[in-house]
């Protein structure tokens, strides 16, 4: 829009509101805060173990004692929740994944230790899926080369129950079996765990971005075939809305879209359609790409981390599971 009286200069100058830092803060539409972050952590057997995951720079596998040190860092920074993922010894893996519902398994011991030290100062999210415990590397029970849905539901429900009994605050089923949210909700409620929440991986895609995560939990080498028969086709978005609707009907309290950056459109559609707590997972492959670029000096780490996480908020995510949570919290704290 121009003003002919003043020689054609624009009356509306969009740059005015960008001139000062304080003004940019005043008109900012989306905020990224520490309260938006969930920090995924990998736990292993043993003591005094803190070893790097080679494909995920800066990410560690920790024994329970050093895990507690990491959780302390999260508590000190005000991160509201951590998410636990186990790396199980091969000797404890089996085709029926029975270690998943052992009440004294690695995850349950880690949860009890966290709750004993920190009580309700931080939330604990537990993954409900069989791939870390399954000698076939799949999220469900495999028979004759097929993932068996309904038999898997029984194992997942028992897994969720022992996690709840250990003190888990949020069960997060990531398996993508049909009907698993209802099966878990009924198991929890039937055993008096009405307050344990379910954060459903409602729209989890059969993505190529999970490789480093499978390295971290030790399931990649065991995996036979792919997961396309139960995880979603990356081409589909209407199907994601159907999946979310089903999980909400079955009792999910929160929903998640996974992966994150390649599926910002799905996050937006889910939030706009359902208006429920919606989370995104900034997955291992996305994280690894970011870190590879910054370690090579191609991108500026701090700015890229915050811009990436802000994109999830802009798309509509209420919270983000990200391996960048600790450094993001530190950066956000510095800007206060």
For the beta carbon of residue 192, count every other beta carbon within 10 angstroms.
Answer: 10
Check: CB of residue 119 under 8 Å from CB of residue 250. Answer: no
What pLDDT is attached to residue 293? Answer: 97
Q: Residue 3 — pLDDT band, cuts 50, 70, 90?
A: low
pTM greater than 0.85 = yes
Average pLDDT, integer, range 186-212: 96
Domain borders along the chain are 32-335
Beta strands in the chain (DSSP E): 37-44, 50-52, 60-62, 81-87, 123-128, 141-143, 146-148, 170-173, 197-204, 254-258, 278-282, 319-322
Q: What is the pLDDT of residue 223?
A: 75
What does the chain come to in residues? 336
Total Cβ atoms within 10 A of residue 247:
26
Q: Cis (ω within 30 of 0) for the bond into 259? A: yes
| Residue 258 annotated as catalytic | yes
Reported as a pLDDT band with limits 50, 70 and 90, residue 280 is very high
Cα(289)–Cα(65) distance, integer angstroms: 30
Residue recorded with tokens 């539409």: 29
CATH of domain 32-335: 3.20.20.70
Distance CA 85, CA 101 (A): 14
Instruction: Specify the pLDDT at position 51.
Output: 95
Q: Is the pLDDT of residue 59 over 60?
A: yes
What is the pLDDT, as a whole number, of residue 216?
Answer: 86
Residue 72 or 221, more confident? 72
Say whether 93 is catalytic.
Answer: no
Note the pLDDT of residue 53: 94
User: What is the distance between the alpha carbons of residues 67 and 307, in angstroms, rounded to a whole number?
Assistant: 28
Checking if the pLDDT of 5 tops 70, the result is no
| pLDDT (0 to 100) of residue 28 | 85
What is the three-class DSSP state of 111? helix
Is the separation of the CB atoms in 270 and 203 below 8 Å? yes
Q: Say what the pLDDT of residue 221 is.
A: 67
Q: How many CB atoms lie within 10 A of CB 34?
A: 18
Contact 258, 283 (CB under 8 A): yes
From 93, 227, 258, 291, active-site residue: 258
Instruction: Give me the pLDDT at residue 11, please.
Output: 82
327 is in an annotated binding site: no
C-alpha 229/C-alpha 331 separation (Å) is 40
The residue whose two tokens read 């409900």 is 128
Average pLDDT of the segment spanning 274-283: 97
Instruction: Give the mean pLDDT of 144-163.
Output: 96
Indicate the pLDDT class of residue 125, thresholds 50, 70 and 90.
Answer: very high
User: Which helix (H) or strand (E) segment is 75 a member of?
Assistant: helix 64-77
Give the pLDDT score at 6. 57
Nearest to 37 by CA among 274, 253, 326: 326
More reliable by pLDDT, 265 or 21: 265
3-state SS assignment for residue 14: helix
Q: Which among 189, 44, 39, 168 has a CA at the least distance from the CA of 103?
A: 168
- What pLDDT band is residue 217 in, cutting at 50, 70 and 90? confident
pLDDT at 324: 97
């Amino acid at each position: 829009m121009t003003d002919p009286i003043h020689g054609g200069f624009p009356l509306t100058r969009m740059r005015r509101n960008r001139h000062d830092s304080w003004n940019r803060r005043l008109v900012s539409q989306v905020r990224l805060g520490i309260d938006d972050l969930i920090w995924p952590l990998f736990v292993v057997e043993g003591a005094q173990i803190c070893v790097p995951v080679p494909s995920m720079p800066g990410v560690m596998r920790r024994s329970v004692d050093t895990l507690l040190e990491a959780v302390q860092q999260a508590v000190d920074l005000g991160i509201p929740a951590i998410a636990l993922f186990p790396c199980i010894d091969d000797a404890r893996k089996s085709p029926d994944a029975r270690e998943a519902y052992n009440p004294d398994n690695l995850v349950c011991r880690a949860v009890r230790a966290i709750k004993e030290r920190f009580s309700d100062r931080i939330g604990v999210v537990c993954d409900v899926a069989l791939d870390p415990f399954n000698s076939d590397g799949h999220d469900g029970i495999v028979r004759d080369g097929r993932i068996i849905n309904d038999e898997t539901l029984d194992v997942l429900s028992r897994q969720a129950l022992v996690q709840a009994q250990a003190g888990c605050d949020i069960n997060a089923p990531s398996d993508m079996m049909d009907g698993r949210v209802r099966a878990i909700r009924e198991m929890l409620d039937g055993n008096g765990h009405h307050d344990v929440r379910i954060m459903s991986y409602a729209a989890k895609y059969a993505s190529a971005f999970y490789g480093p995560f499978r390295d971290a939990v030790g399931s990649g080498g065991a995996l036979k075939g792919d997961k396309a028969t139960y995880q979603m086709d990356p081409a589909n978005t209407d199907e994601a809305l159907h999946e979310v609707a089903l999980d909400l009907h079955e009792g999910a309290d929160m929903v998640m879209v996974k992966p994150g950056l390649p599926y910002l459109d799905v996050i937006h559609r889910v939030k706009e359609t359902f208006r429920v707590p919606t989370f995104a997972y900034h997955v291992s492959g996305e994280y690894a790409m970011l870190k590879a670029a910054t370690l090579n000096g191609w991108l500026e780490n701090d700015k890229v981390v915050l811009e990436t996480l802000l994109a999830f908020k802009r798309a509509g995510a209420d919270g983000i599971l990200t391996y960048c949570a600790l450094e993001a919290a530190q950066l956000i704290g510095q800007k206060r």
